[in-house]
Chain A
């Protein structure tokens, strides 16, 4: 009996070497190790054997079963290893372009604006918006720029056919709107939006452009805070090591007023054509809110102080990506927009 088992096993093992595909392998297994197989039958019927033969035959039969099992596992591994050799040879040109994916994009200016929003949001500045079409009063007079004042030369204005209604030249009128809404509470907001200037459209000047202005008002806001806050912004907007510097400047609605420069991120301050060999890039204007403006917003300038700043997302974008022509932004040429 053991002999016939042994013979069967040898035959099975030699057959196993000829098995090359998974279907045959499954068949082989059910034939030689399945419920109906000789060996499993034998093991299952050990109880019918005389007690004296049971241990020997049992042990031997189990050995045979184990051998078959081991050989089967080994064959699986062998077949798996040789699988690649046995597949028909493929010859794909793996360098062919993949199937085009049609994905959308945000306009690059939206991307820059969102980055600016996110940084200021982290620093506790919320977004406040006000209209594009404004009154002369909000755009100028309440910002300490009276009619016929020489400071008006700083803005070339689009007037409308309704006297006193203009296209805002900056987002600063939002300062007055925000102050009048929040007074007497402290304020920390940014004021993004489209502004308009009466200019020729050239590579360097546009009739419409975005501005992001900021305003912080409280009973303890100082020039040192302005410097610290804006330097923090610059480090987050450009890079962790960005140096900043402040130069005295003039805006009618702030005093003292300053321009903030950041170290040129293209040449790391070494001097290049973009920074005009100064090592610095002019990024934003800022200053302490003028007492007259605070008053116009409803705040008592003896108790409250504040700072304000304004920057141009398009200018920042141009510097960052080496864009030489400002007309690209509203030209919306897809060959430009698809580069972002």
Chain B
């Protein structure tokens, strides 16, 4: 919300520099997001807590001037020559401002027009450029007439975007020559209002905060209206019929007769503009002005329209819920079908406006309006918020305030205040006091707060009289009964609860005004909770470390994905997705069920500039159909997965490598082997497997304790291609990490370092091609016993020399004993035993070398 400092100063005496006031507000929870200096100099230091903008009006160049006469331009119809006096001498100013044309050729003006005058050399914004662009006024000739200075528009001075005409001040403006900055120079605080501070979406609210923070008195405007009572009023106030008091607790109305619709005086227009609102006419402007001032939105009806609608009888205002499919055309010209929860202001004929949000077009104030019915009502804020969202009326200033809560006690004050301003500025008359329907008055909230709560919650002791002072400065009424404060909440606030919540609310007020910075820092002295380890997280992080140690780069991808992307893996993914009902993009519609798809998508994006990819990700997939392990059954199972993807060249391009072979299945298998070794899982098997994403014959399954925990291998070329990976084969592993982690041993035993030398023997064995290598190694390991300390498969060969359907496996055997130095004889014995066993079991023959 934008609040001009000049307006705040009407209610509280402030002589601190503006940036100090901005800081005070920010630290008290009213974050000043921007400070806009209008004509005034910005503080001359490097640091400022809020974004600071604005244009300074040099006092020698920008002054109030008086236009004495407006004369036609000799050579241009759309320009006039304004003769003006700037306090020193007379000047001729060329202008095309439409608001001077009515004075054109009228001779010397009886009442000179006071304007904002910029002398030659003044630095201001270029009114013809779309954005704020600085320019310096230079001497020039326009159609034969010399021009060197100007009368400014609001845009040129940085007040608003208005550039339709020049500023014409009220007659009460100071005399010619007065520096402009001294007259209308200002500072705008743009404050972010948090939901608990709805009372401060108003100038008085912020002034009250500043009064409390600076220990200054708050001066409120008069809430009374001057009436001219008559014996029998010409017009009658309507009857008010509230059908849903829970949604519309209060409705007040005043009647202002015989007003003249006209533009507002300039001082009011500029206030509205500086506050971010557009002036319309005096009546509408006053409703907005009082709303900005008090926080209470108001609505002005054309009384005569209501009167006509009720066929000349005294109108009745009814607030109620809509009939099925009831319509209303609001003053933005949109015809709206109303939801059954949206409360309406209606009369006996039909709808007039959406309660608390937006008026209807028919009864709005028009240039010919004579009599005003002014509404100030109270509405249930949750209901208003719902309607604002349903009708997409977030831009409504009234809706903004009512959906955050406006206390019903503010309505009559604001109504009388606005009515009185209409009387003054619209030339109207008030002959009756307001009609006030308040079926369910709110009882004042009283919070009993033991003073000990301050120490218990804030950790400090504040003297009771300071506490009382802080609260009374915010208009709380406080009585102290021994060590308990009885705090009565002021009748403009809706944010203070009762009971323990109310105490917390009061404590926040005390701390805020006392100042968070004055509260010291301490170390927790409370009991230390029982310490425990998050075993699942630690195991997960361990696997992350292992993957990194294996040379893989970790990814973190979007968990929102799409079934279309995941179907590209050809995996049979069930349709039971957690689907978002308000997605931001078609590729982010559901919580992923395939982590592989997400990683492959990343691989694709990187493949354009990387010829070697070695990636992994650990993260959840969201399975709604799997047996839920959650306390809340409607929630999906968030299953932790590990994906590894390899593709491209085995090594980075380097002069030091002769060739750069492409990675294949055994690069991935090496990683899987190393991963298992690093986890110290011992009870596992790897076997041939089938999977729809992978190439038959190059797919393996990892089983731990007999249960499959994942598959790995080479992706089907069609799957890789679907992800745009066509250059190299793509190797991938898809592990159920949750299952793998449950098998993770938390420790393992070590072997002593050997004390006796080893004997190394190489053997090559010819076996059937179909015999899996891990079967052969298992036999060798078993037969070799504990003296066979190491077994390495260092060559695999197939060829005519060894016969069709055969392969040769060459092993290096390392024999070692922890008791003595083995002899060649010992080694030969073991070797023969192994060869014999292999021959018996699988018909393996020793290959002659």
Contact = CB atoms under 8 A, between A and B. Distances in A.
Given A104-B554, A207-B584, A292 B501 contact: yes
Nearest to B458: A223
Interface stretch (B60-68, B122-130, B377-385): B377-385
A331 B602 CA distance: 8
B372 interface: no
Given A246-B517, A279-B47, A132 B620 contact: yes
Given A222-B457, A255-B505, A333-B606, A102 B551 contact: yes
Interface in A243-268: 245-250, 252, 255-258
B18 to A, nearest CB: 16
Interface in A151-165: 151, 153-154, 158-162, 164-165
Contacts of B541: 114
A333 B605 contact: yes
B654 interface: yes
Given A132-B559, A247-B31, A225 B523 contact: yes
B311 interface: no
Interface residues of A, number: 103
B196 A250 contact: yes
Interface in B578-601: 578-585, 588, 591
Interface stretch (A34-42, A55-63, A192-200): A192-200
A82 interface: no
Interface string B500-538: 110111011001100011011111111111111110110
B556 A222 contact: no
Contact of B654 (A100, A132, A245, A301): A100
A107 B615 CA distance: 11
Chain A CB within 10 Å, residue with most, of B48, B50, B553, B579: B553
A105 B553 contact: yes
A248 B27 contact: yes
Interface stretch (B69-77, B291-299, B632-640): B632-640
Nearest to B588: A207
A229 B524 contact: yes
Nearest to B555: A332
B626 to A, nearest CB: 13
Interface stretch (B319-327, B467-475, B542-550): B542-550
A221 B582 contact: no
A225 B579 contact: no
B195 A153 contact: yes
Contact of B522 (A185, A228, A247): A228
Interface residues of B, number: 109
B97 interface: no
A312 B319 CA distance: 46
A331 B534 CA distance: 29
A124 B531 contact: yes
Contacts of A6: none
A23 to B, nearest CB: 27
Given A160-B579, A207-B584, A104 B553 contact: yes
B513 to A, nearest CB: 9
Contact of A105 (B196, B456, B548): B548
Contact of A104 (B537, B548, B632): B548
Contacts of A151: 195-196
Nearest to B400: A150
Contact of A165 (B385, B556, B585, B635): B635
A248 B614 CA distance: 47
A278 B544 contact: no
Contacts of A222: 455-459, 522
A57 B735 CA distance: 85
B28 interface: yes
B460 interface: yes
A256 B523 CA distance: 19
Given A132-B559, A164-B634, A248-B29, A104 B520 contact: no
Contact of A228 (B381, B517, B523, B532): B523
A200 B49 CA distance: 28
Contact of A150 (B195, B508, B559): B195
B666 to A, nearest CB: 16
B784 interface: no
A167 B555 contact: no
Given A104-B614, A333-B605, A246 B516 contact: yes
A100 B26 CA distance: 53
A256 B508 contact: yes
B655 A96 contact: yes
Nearest to A105: B553
Interface of B: 26-29, 31, 46-51, 194-198, 381-383, 385-386, 403-405, 455-460, 499-501, 503-505, 507-508, 511-512, 516-517, 519-534, 536-537, 541, 544, 547-560, 578-585, 588, 591, 602, 605-606, 609-610, 612-614, 616, 620, 622, 630, 632, 634-636, 638, 651-652, 654-657
Given A229-B523, A245-B517, 6 more contacts: A97-B654, A97-B655, A148-B386, A158-B582, A198-B582, A250-B197
Interface of A: 96-100, 102-107, 109-110, 114, 124, 126-129, 131-135, 146-151, 153-154, 158-162, 164-165, 167, 182, 185-188, 194, 196, 198-201, 207-208, 216, 218-225, 227-229, 231-232, 245-250, 252, 255-258, 269-271, 276-280, 288, 290-292, 295, 301-302, 305, 329-335, 337-338
The 4 closest A-B pairs by CB, nearest first: A222-B459, A224-B459, A248-B29, A218-B526
15 contacts: A104-B548, A106-B544, A131-B630, A133-B591, A150-B381, A153-B385, A167-B560, A186-B529, A223-B460, A225-B523, A225-B525, A246-B517, A248-B27, A292-B501, A332-B556
